[in-house]
Chains A and B, each alone.
Chain A
Amino acid sequence: NAGVMQNPRHLVRRRGQEARLRCSPMKGHSHVYWYRQLPEEGLKFMVYLQKENIIDESGMPKERFSAEFPKEGPSILRIQQVVRGDSAAYFCASSPGPLGQQNTEAFFGQGTRLTVV
């Protein structure tokens, strides 16, 4: 039973390019969360998706960032026209149901480390 799979593990982009980060949730999980972690800081919530729906994007920057979780395939976090400040580790988590329900835990992937040069 594979865990949450993220790819690529490392991504280098020049300023102005686009970055696409992929996340395949654990088998049986239909809830996906994206978090961003800056060096020496905790994880900050970005967006919560279920299949084909964005449920909560309150942590997403208003511009250049978007996320999707199509019916088929992985969830994608897309960052357009990247800037140096986008350099961070981006983590995806998945859960079988909404967080907070009894015995519903979030499991994290190993992250994608984005470096903007």
Chain B
Amino acid sequence: QQQVKQSPQSLIVQKGGISIINCAYENTAFDYFPWYQQFPGKGPALLIAIRPDVSEKKEGRFTISFNKSAKQFSLHIMDSQPGDSATYFCAASWSAGANNLFFGTGTRLTVIP
């Protein structure tokens, strides 16, 4: 059973555009939601993370929007650049006794010049 569902599977965006990746979860115990960026042949790197005490978190061109009632969260990449082309994974975990992260299936983003 996939604990975190991610869409779309792939995304093509023009340079300067906004990339939006969505994730949904079922387990209401989740209270930590990170996003990871992975380039080919590399390990996932933490990009930005949010906890449900806020509905939005922004770091540079990257923003997480969180909707607790809908159990959804999304990553927005503003002014997308070719260097942003990578696979993005959302994940979720919980604070109390968390042992691991539950990952989405990934979104392959391609930013075309």
Interface residues on A, range: 20 to 34
| Complex interface bits, A9-48 against B, C-beta within 8 A gives 1, otherwise 0 | 0000000000000000000000001010000111111001
Q: Which of A42, A59, A91, A101 contacts B105 (CB 8 A)?
A: A42
Contact (A41, B106) CB under 8 Å given A99-B93, A100-B31: yes
- The answer to whether B46 and A100 touch across the interface, beta carbons within 8 angstroms, is no
Q: How many chain-B residues does the 8 Å CB contact rule pick out? A: 27
> Do residues B98 and A99 form an inter-chain contact, with CB atoms below 8 A?
yes
Give the docked Cα–Cα distance between A107 and B37 (Å): 12
Residue of B nearest to A108 (CB): B43
* One of A48, A98, A107, A111 near B46 (C-beta < 8 A): A107
The answer to whether B44 and A91 have CB atoms under 8 Å apart is: yes
How many residue-residue contacts, CB under 8 A, span A and B?
68
Does residue A88 face the partner (Cβ distance < 8 Å to B)?
Answer: no
Q: Are B42 and A42 in contact (CB under 8 A)?
A: no
The CA-CA distance from A106 to B99 in the complex, in Å, is 11
Residues B46 and A105 in contact, CB atoms below 8 Å apart: yes
Contact: B99 with A55, CB < 8 Å?
A: yes
By a CB distance below 8 angstroms, the chain A residues around B49 are 105
Q: Which chain A residues have a beta carbon within 8 Å of chain B's beta carbons? A: 4, 6, 33, 35, 40-45, 48, 55-56, 58-59, 91, 98-101, 105-111
What 7 pairs across the A-B complex have the smallest Cβ distances? A100-B98, A100-B95, A45-B100, A108-B43, A42-B103, A56-B99, A99-B98
Q: 7 more A-B contacts (CB under 8 A) besides A41-B105, A100-B32?
A: A43-B89, A45-B100, A48-B100, A99-B32, A99-B93, A99-B98, A106-B46
